[in-house]
């Protein structure tokens, strides 16, 4: 039987500094003892996006204190944890260096094993933390840096079924918001404006809809939005609302086609999973209510469970990093050595073809 385990998790891959203490019992149940997150939104908002140098400096200034807070809130000391888990990639290399080097230092000083965690694996395994989900299942990861449809067969067993061939979905939201003069972060701003807009006013393209492959593309849609805005400039508030609503509608219809095909493929490959199959959505864009409603309806139609973890566990956090480390410990994965290096690109599926949204440096395709 797997023993009771407790891990300190550290997350610094982008613009949130986070630390958490998480437990996993012998039956695989999770108990979050502490979850501390410091957002850098104010530091980056004036620039309309994350500035890597500012993010790295903020992590350096905040991380030690956040780790102390996480341990204090959990009412434990380093002696009481079994291992350290730190995000090692993918992400901004400066931030990754801060978190991983801190994790290494703590592991060495406290004599604890270190797990260098893939940030995407943290997202992929979160539904097992929140819902006790069994393998296999599908994960739609939609964030500022990633848009991927991933088959999760088991811990460390991932197949990328689809990825963006250009922009990530969160990036498309942010760039559209900036184009329209809306504040950063762009996703929530576009969604707010869309509520008062006419989604039928602009017939924006639905990229790759109808194609058999399960990849995504958003650069053409972003270009269409820019052209529409230029054609009717100067923009009134209603114009902006209509563009946002039409843009969001195009994304919703695109996801309906892309993910619908993925659900059908899952049912073909896993006709008898023993329980109702599941689609999990993770990443910051998962907060968008229209996109959630689209995916919920799609899952209902296809006989799938739709699982959207709480927003605090969809965006960057250390709980998912700690949990990924716990899952690896529980399955007998050996810890990493202290010479492990951070990776700005780190695909979950190392066998997948290299594409822009793959998380691996390579040619555009």
Q: Is 42 annotated as a binding residue?
A: no
Cα–Cα distance for residue pair 252/42, rounded to 1 Å: 29
* Burial 353-364, CB ≥16 within 10 A → b, else e: eebbbbbbeeee
Which one-letter DSSP state was computed for residue 114? E
Q: Which residues pair with 3 in a beta bridge?
A: none
The answer to the question of whether 187 is labelled as a binding residue is yes
Residue from 321, 283, 317, 340 nearest 86 by CA: 321
Q: Is 217 annotated as a binding residue?
A: no
Q: Which long-range contacts (CB under 8 A, 24 or more apart) does 127-132 make?
A: 127/278, 127/280, 127/282, 127/307, 127/309, 128/28, 128/323, 128/327, 129/22, 129/30, 129/309, 129/313, 129/319, 129/320, 129/323, 130/30, 130/307, 130/309, 130/310, 130/313, 131/307, 131/309, 132/28, 132/29
Q: Is 198 within any annotated ligand binding site? A: no
Residue 312 marked ligand-binding: no
144 annotated among ligand-binding-site residues? yes
Please check if 15 is assigned to a binding site.
Answer: no
Terminal-residue alpha carbon distance, the chain: 46
d(CA 49, CA 172): 12
Q: Tell me: is residue 143 an annotated ligand-binding position.
A: yes
Angle 264-270-272 from CA coordinates, rounded to 5°: 115
Which DSSP symbol is given to 235? Answer: P
Backbone angles phi, psi at 93, to 5 degrees: -60, -35
Sequence-separated (6 or more) residues with CB below 8 Å from residue 17: 11, 37, 38, 40, 58, 59, 62, 63, 66
Please tell me whether 141 is known to bind a ligand.
yes
Which residue(s) pair with 87 in the sheet? 117
Cis ω for the linkage preceding 100 (within 30 of 0)? no
Separation between Cα atoms, residue 312 and residue 350, nearest integer Å: 28
Three-class SS state of 9: strand
Whose CA is closest to 32, among 22, 19, 18? 22
Is residue 138 a known part of a binding site? no
29 is annotated as contributing to ligand binding: no
66 is in an annotated binding site: no
Residue numbers belonging to the annotated binding site for substrate: 141-145, 174, 187, 191, 288
Residue numbers belonging to the annotated binding site for Fe cation: 119, 123, 316
Residue numbers belonging to the annotated binding site: 119, 123, 141-145, 174, 187, 191, 288, 316
């Amino acid at each position: 039987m797997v023993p009771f385990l407790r891990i300190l998790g550290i997350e610094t891959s982008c613009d949130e500094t986070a630390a958490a203490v998480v437990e996993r019992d012998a039956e695989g149940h999770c108990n979050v003892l502490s979850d501390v997150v410091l957002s850098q939104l104010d530091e980056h908002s004036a620039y309309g996006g994350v500035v890597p140098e500012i993010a790295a400096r903020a992590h350096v200034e905040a991380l030690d204190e956040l780790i102390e807070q996480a341990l204090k809130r959990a009412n434990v000391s380093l002696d009481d944890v079994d291992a350290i888990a730190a995000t090692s990639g993918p992400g901004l290399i400066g931030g990754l260096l801060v978190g991983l080097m801190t994790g290494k230092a703590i592991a060495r000083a406290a004599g604890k094993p270190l797990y260098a965690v893939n940030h995407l694996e943290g997202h992929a395994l979160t539904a097992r933390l929140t819902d006790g989900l069994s393998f296999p299942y599908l994960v739609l990861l939609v964030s500022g840096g990633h848009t991927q449809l991933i088959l999760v067969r088991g811990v460390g067993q991932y197949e990328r079924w689809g990825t963006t061939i250009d922009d990530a979905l969160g990036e498309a939201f942010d760039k559209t918001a900036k184009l329209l003069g809306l504040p950063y972060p762009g996703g929530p701003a576009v969604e707010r404006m869309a509520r008062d807009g006419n989604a039928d006013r602009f017939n924006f393209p639905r990229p790759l809809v109808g194609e058999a492959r399960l990849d995504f593309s958003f650069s053409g849609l972003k270009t269409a939005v820019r052209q529409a805005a230029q054609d009717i400039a100067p923009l009134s508030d209603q114009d902006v609302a209509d563009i946002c609503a039409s843009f969001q509608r195009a994304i919703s219809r695109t996801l309906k086609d892309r993910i619908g095909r993925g659900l059908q493929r899952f049912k073909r490959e896993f006709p008898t999973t023993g329980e109702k199959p599941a689609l999990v959505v993770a990443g910051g864009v998962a907060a968008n209510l229209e996109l959630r409603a689209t995916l919920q309806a799609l899952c209902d139609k296809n006989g799938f469970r739709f699982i959207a973890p709480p927003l605090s566990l969809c965006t960057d956090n250390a709980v998912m990093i700690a949990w990924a480390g716990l899952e690896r410990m529980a399955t007998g994965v050996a810890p990493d050595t202290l010479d492990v290096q951070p990776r700005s690109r780190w695909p979950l599926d190392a066998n997948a073809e290299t594409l822009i949204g793959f998380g691996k440096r390579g040619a555009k395709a």
